[in-house]
Amino acid sequence: MAAKKRKGGLRQRQAEAEEEVEAATGQSQLSKLLLSKFAWGELSPQAVQEIAAAAATDMETMADGKCMPDLRALAAIGSNGAQAQNCFRDLMRKLEADVHLPDAYTAKVPFKKIGEATQHFLLPHELFSAMYNEVPNAFAHSMMPNPDDVPHFWEAVKEHPQMVRHPLKDRDDYKTRCIPLALHGDDVPIHGIGKGYTSKLTVFSWCSLLAMERSTKEKLFMTYCTFEKVRTKGTIDAWMKLLAWSLWWLFWGVWYPAGSPEHARACTPLAGGFYGVLWGLLGDLDYFHLILQLPHFSKASNFCPLCQADPLAIAHMEGLAGPFEISFL
């Protein structure tokens, strides 16, 4: 009697066997840790491969040749480490299916010496929408940990000077649907730290003011960065115009109108009716002066961008109410 023919080819049978092993063993916790370390820049792709390969070898030794598929997949990048230069390429190919971030927005920005150059931006309104629609758990964790904080926040700031004639007050749902946001900027030393020739990277990021108790990694989202030595006023102006455009549509909570590259979803909700408003600017005094072009903090007079404050005005400030406070932030 002829032997019964097995269904499927070799690759199909291998895939089925791997699925059976994965169903029995689950996802490797070491694999998740290695990918997290790689994503945060704490491990190189080569280090990920070396650690995964060592762990896979130990597991196969102790479990009769069996190993968690995701761990074995990490061990196999770069032709099992033989071609280390390909580790990054292979790792990114494996991760692409799990990346839910929108494609970076591109635009030309002027710089010193080199002129205009194409830059990539992760715009706030696009990331806000992607988080809500693709990874709702991350949206809840990093944007709105406690839904009750939305009305609590707006109740706490109802007498704040920013609320005077603010267009937000014309919207009936802002106390339940509007997420208050903050923009942070700073120059970060990246080379020659502590030396006279220090090179800095100007980094812009944003966060939800409802998630201040989260760690920096969990709440702060980088949107753009540029080298301090090559940026000009034109660089910052071009970036700020693009940022203002993104925040404008984030405030309205919809995709931009027909005729745009995203015309297929024009005027549809970004995040199921949720939207955001820029409420705070965070940074040091140098950032406020050099980047935001506010008056220099060391000036003897006219150092406030909102009034004609000078040392003599201090005498007239006695009796004014203390600083505005939000107790739960």
- For the chain, which residues make up each domain, given as ranges? 10-98, 105-316
Q: What average pLDDT does the segment 85-110 reach?
A: 89
Higher model confidence: residue 38 or residue 307? 38
Q: pLDDT digit string (tens) for 124-172?
A: 999 999 999 999 999 999 999 999 999 999 999 999 989 999 999 999 9
Tell which residue, 112, 101, 124, has the closest CA to residue 226. 112
Least confident of 24-38, 173-187, 204-218, 272-286: 24-38
pLDDT tens for 240-296 read: 999 999 999 999 999 986 666 666 788 889 999 999 999 999 999 889 988 888 888
Partners of 119 in the β-ladder: 107
The predicted pLDDT at position 244 comes to 95
Report yes or no: 238 and 109 within 8 Å, Cβ to Cβ: yes
Q: Does residue 136 sit in helix, strand or coil? A: helix
- The answer to whether 231 and 210 are in contact (CB under 8 A) is no
Residue range 30-71, pLDDT digits in tens: 999 999 899 888 999 999 999 999 999 998 888 777 888 889
Percent residues over pLDDT 70 in the chain: 82
Residue 107 pLDDT more than 90? yes
Of 140, 119, 116, nearest to 128 by C-alpha is 140
